[in-house]
Amino acid sequence: MVSQCANPECGAQFLYFGEGELVAVPRRERLLTDSRVEFFWLCGNCASHLHLEVAVDGAMNLVSRRVLQTA
């Protein structure tokens, strides 16, 4: 369950999804038949200048939207 913004410097509480960015990341367990989905949310303010990106190791990274636009 998502409870707050994924930006650790923000802390906005997730009450309902009306704005921002919600990311669903499938996670595999040891057994191939077991899997789950983990959710991350950026509030509207943070989503205006940040993006969530899944790293190769499965960790979530905050990336500046400016970096994405110049790449």
Q: Which residue has the higher pLDDT, 26 or 3?
A: 3
Strands (DSSP E) contained in 1-71 are 21-28, 35-42, 50-54, 60-64
- CB-based burial label for 22 (10 Å; 0-12, 13-18, 19+): middle
- Rounded mean pLDDT of 7-29? 86
Q: What is the pTM of this model?
A: 0.76
Q: pLDDT per residue over 20-68, tens digit each?
A: 999 888 877 766 667 788 899 999 999 999 999 888 887 889 999 876 5
pLDDT of residue 67: 62
pLDDT of residue 31: 66
- Rounded mean pLDDT of 11-18? 87
